[in-house]
Amino acid sequence: MRLSGKVGLVTGGASGIGASTAKAFADEGAKVVIADIQDAMSERLVRELREGGADAIYFHLDVTDEDNWRRAVDAALAAFGRLDVLVNNAGIGGRRDSGGSELDNWNQVMAVNATGPFLGVKAVLEPMKKIGGGSVINISSIYGIVGPTLDPHLPPTDAIAGAYNASKGSIRLLSKAAALQLSKYNIRVNSVHPGFIDTPLTARAFSYPETKEHLRRLHPIGRLGKPEDVANAVLYLASDEASFVTGAELVVDGGYTAQ
Q: Establish whether 164 is a catalytic residue.
A: yes
Task: Please list, in sequence order, all residues whose beta carbon lies within 8 angstroms of the beta carbon of residue 83, skipping any fewer than 6 positions away.
Answer: 7, 9, 73, 76, 77, 124, 127, 128, 131, 134
Residue from 3, 6, 7, 16 binding ligand NAD (CB under 6 A): 16
Residue from 115, 190, 202, 246 binding ligand NAD (CB under 6 A): 202
Other C-beta atoms closer than 10 Å to the C-beta of 237 total: 23
Check binding of 36 to ligand NAD (CB under 6 A).
Answer: yes
CA atoms within 13 A on the CB side of 145: 20
Check binding of 246 to ligand NAD (CB under 6 A).
Answer: no
Q: Shortest gap between Cβ of 29 and ligand NAD (angstroms)?
A: 23
Pairing of strands 56-60, 85-88: unpaired
Coil vs helix vs strand at 172: helix
Q: Shortest gap between Cβ of 17 and ligand NAD (angstroms)?
A: 4
Query: d(Cα 102, Cα 88) in Å, to the nearest integer?
Result: 25
Q: Any idea what DSSP says for residue 90?
A: -
Query: d(Cα 145, Cα 132) in Å, to the nearest integer?
Result: 32
> Would you give the binding string for ligand NAD spanning residues 129-168, x where CB under 6 A is met?
----------x-x---------------------------
Residue from 27, 38, 162, 208 binding ligand NAD (CB under 6 A): 38
Check binding of 194 to ligand NAD (CB under 6 A).
Answer: yes
Query: d(Cα 14, Cα 193) in Å, to the nearest integer?
Result: 20
CA atoms within 13 A on the CB side of 84: 18
Active-site residue identified among 143, 164, 208, 256: 164
> Would you give the binding string for ligand NAD spanning residues 56-95, x where CB under 6 A is met?
-----xxxx------------------------xxxx---
Residue from 8, 10, 15, 23 binding ligand NAD (CB under 6 A): 15
Check binding of 249 to ligand NAD (CB under 6 A).
Answer: no
Dihedral of alpha carbons 90, 182, 230, 57, sign: negative
Q: What does the binding site for ligand NAD look like in residue numbers (CB under 6 A)?
A: 11-12, 14-18, 36-38, 61-64, 89-92, 112, 139, 141, 194, 196-197, 199-202
* Residues labelled as active-site residues: 164
